[in-house]
Amino acid sequence: MNIYVGNLPYDFTEEELRDMFNQFGDVANVKIILDKVSGRSKGFGFVEMVEKSEGKDAIQVLDQSAVRGRNVRVHVARPKNGRQHRPKTRRSKDDQPEGIEIQAAPKQGPKKEDAAIG
């Protein structure tokens, strides 16, 4: 079971995160996400637990628990490819709802500020 852990202290280590979850069962993998540029923690990570029931227990106990003065958020991780992105598309004139007419903006000549001073 893959578990998301958010709102971690920025100096929290992967070893500390593993220790936090080891009390509930076998931890297969731990990863704290780092900023690519600075190399510092982004304040969240993932824990993979071997047994689903142990992961559920960990989530129930640890969610909103205080870790160095921060209430951590712990829940089942969503798959990375499960994110839904809305495509950025432009509507054509034919895609407009009925009853709405689109008019082009009137063209304007050069402004006084743009005119050459002679």
Question: What is the H or E stretch that residue 45 is in?
Answer: strand 41-49
Which tens digit of pLDDT belongs to each residue from 21-71?
999 999 999 999 999 999 999 999 999 999 999 999 999 999 999 999 999
Cα distances (Å, whole numbers) of residue 34 to 37, 42, 103, 115:
9, 5, 49, 53
**Domains parsed from the chain with CATH numbers:** 2-73 (3.30.70.330)
pLDDT confidence tier of residue 95, bands split at 50, 70 and 90 = low
pLDDT for the residue 84? 58
Q: Which residues have a Cβ under 8 Å from the Cβ of 26 and sit 6 or more positions away?
A: 49, 50, 51, 54
> Is 104 a residue whose pLDDT tops 60?
no
The answer to whether 7 touches 71, Cβ cutoff 8 Å, is yes
CA distance 9 to 77: 19
Nearest to 10 by CA among 33, 37, 36, 27: 33
> Is 112 a residue whose pLDDT tops 70?
no
pLDDT for the residue 79? 84
pLDDT for the residue 101? 56
- pTM (2 decimals)? 0.67
CA distance 29 to 45: 11
The answer to whether 44 touches 8, Cβ cutoff 8 Å, is yes
pLDDT confidence tier of residue 76, bands split at 50, 70 and 90 = very high
